[in-house]
Structures are given as structure tokens and as C-alpha cells.
Amino acid sequence: MKRLTLLLTTAVVLAGCATTTSPTGRRQATGAVSQAQLNQMGAQAFAEAKAKQKLSTDARANAYVRCVVNALVAQLPAQQRGIAWEVALFQDDSANAFALPGGKVGVNTGIFKVATNQDQLAAVLAHEIVHVVANHHDERITRQMGTQMGLSVISVLVGGAYGEAAGQTVGQLGGIGAQAGFLLPNSRQQESEADVVGQQLMAQAGFDPAQAVDLWRNMQSVAGSRSPQWMSTHPDPSNRISKLAADAPTLQSISQQARAAGRNPRCG
């Protein structure tokens, strides 16, 4: 009965999933949760972050971050533009920022140590916003749910044939293999995509796309030791810097056109 229940549950979840196309043309598995559920989870996580972390009261810094976010959001497709985007600046020395479904953007004051001008801050925030508009949260949840259920089914089947201990061992080893060979590479794929599309977005908003390269060089200079790329959710810093540097010259013309059309951000 347990075996049958797992198989049926997996079938129901997979049936509810869909194949969509990312901004770079990559095929995505999405749909394990609805957009309304994603927005609710994003709002809840954002509310918890604001309740637990100290918010910056620096009016100038808050206006600076909102200005950059507003300039980027103005270049999104109409559906994402229509979201009531909310920004919170946290008093935290770590160089971090995030964006959540439902249009929630969080920035730590520590990001100013590596994003030393508005263009570099735009590179950070465009990257994070792309995670939202490219359905990366949906994709990651869908893949994780599918992987977990698939491993549960395999574990039960092996356990039924060779004993419970064997089933548990297969489940544990399978989890390690899925993390290294499936879930982590997918996360790196998303990070690379957010780099590429984020650099395009910042250029469309009138920011200097070459500053994305300087940002990641700054990030690399302050970063400590990191895991090998195959064990990390993020691409190797030198690889992402090379890609951003290669794309910057082409995107300069887009940025120049944006500024000629009046999209010339003056955030600080």
C-alpha cells in the first residue's frame, strides 16, 4: 500500500507540472506550486525577514536602493511591471541581496562595500530580480519535489526487494547523487541565466553593463574560500566574470539607446 501511494503521489505531482521556456530559451519544469502560492511564500518570507532583522533608517540609502529597483522594474514585461514591488534595506554588514516571488526585494547595507556605484548595484539587483521573473523559484521547487518523490519511490521498491536497510541506503546515496548531479547544476544554470539576463536588463534601464564585470571582481576580491564548482550552487567567479565581460560590448549600444531615449538613471 505504501509503495502504491508513493507511486500515485509522484504521478499526480508530475502530471501537474509543465514545461516552460526561460528568457534564454532554456526548457524549464515548473508548476508544482501555483503563482499565488509562490507569492504567498515570498510575502511570508519577506515579512519574517523584516521582523527578525534590523531595518536601515538611512533615508538617503533607502531612496537610493528604491531608485535603482524602480529603474529596473520599469523595463520588465507588463505583467511583472504591474506588481507592487516592495524594497527593504537591512542594517547588515554582509554583502547580500535577494528578490522573492510577489515582488519583494531585500538588500543588506553591506552590499555597498562591493557595489560601489549605482551601476554595480543595478547589476546585483537585476540579477536577483531575474530570478523572480524567470520563474527560478518555481523551477527549483518543482525539481526538488520531483527528485524527492522519485527517490522515495526507488527506496521503497529496493526496500521491498532487498530489505529496509538496503532501501534506506539507496535513498541516502541517491540523495547525494541527485544533489551533486541534478539539483546543484540546475542552480548553477539559474545563476548563469540571471547573470546574462540581468546584465541585459540593466542595459535596457540605462545602466552601464560593463559595471557588472567590476561588481563581480569586487565580489571575488572579498570572497573567502569556496567549494569546487561541481559542489556549488554558483558558477565559478572567474567563469561568470569572463561571460559578463564578453557580453558587455554588445550591450553598450542598448544602454546608449536607453539613455538617448531618456532612461538615464540618476540614483546616487
Domain that holds residue 232: 2-7+26-260
Contact status, residue 105 vs residue 85, Cβ threshold 8 Å: yes
Q: Which region among 87-101, 110-124, 126-140 has the lowest average model confidence (pLDDT)? A: 126-140
- How many Cα atoms sit within 13 Å of 132 on the Cβ side? 27
Share of the chain above pLDDT 70, in %: 69
Nearest to 89 by CA among 58, 121, 116, 114: 58
pLDDT band, very low/low/confident/very high, at 181 (cuts 50, 70, 90)? very low
Share of the chain above pLDDT 90, in %: 47
In whole angstroms, give the CA distance from residue 110 to residue 89. Answer: 10
Tally the domains of the chain. 1
Residue 14 lies in a domain: no
Q: Which amino acid is at 147?
A: T
Three-class secondary structure of residue 265 per DSSP:
coil
Q: Cell numbers at residue 244, please?
A: 559578463
pLDDT band, very low/low/confident/very high, at 222 (cuts 50, 70, 90)? confident
Three-class secondary structure of residue 40 per DSSP:
helix
- What is the model's pLDDT at position 154? 35
146, pLDDT greater than 60:
no
Q: Cell numbers at residue 60, please?
A: 538617503
Residue 220 lies in a domain: yes
- What is the model's pLDDT at position 15? 44
Contact status, residue 176 vs residue 228, Cβ threshold 8 Å: no
In this structure, the dihedral spanned by the alpha carbons of residues 127, 107, 180 and 3, taken in order and rounded to 10 degrees, is -110
| 125-140 exposure pattern, b = at least 16 Cβ within 10 A, e = fewer | bbbbbbbbbbbbbbbb
Residue 55 lies in a domain: yes
Residue 145 lies in a domain: yes
Q: In Å, what is the CA distance from 229 to each residue of 154, 158, 238, 263?
A: 28, 32, 11, 37
Residue 233 lies in a domain: yes
Residue 158 lies in a domain: yes
Q: 3 phi and psi, to 5 degrees?
A: -60, -45
258, pLDDT greater than 50:
yes
Residue 268 lies in a domain: no
83, pLDDT greater than 60:
yes
Residue 15 lies in a domain: no
User: In the predicted model, what is the mean pLDDT of residues 17-24?
Assistant: 67
Largest CA distance in the chain: 70
Q: Cell numbers at residue 247, please?
A: 557580453
- What is the model's pLDDT at position 187? 75
pLDDT band, very low/low/confident/very high, at 28 (cuts 50, 70, 90)? low
User: In the predicted model, what is the mean pLDDT of residues 63-89?
Assistant: 95
In whole angstroms, give the CA distance from residue 46 to residue 106. Answer: 8
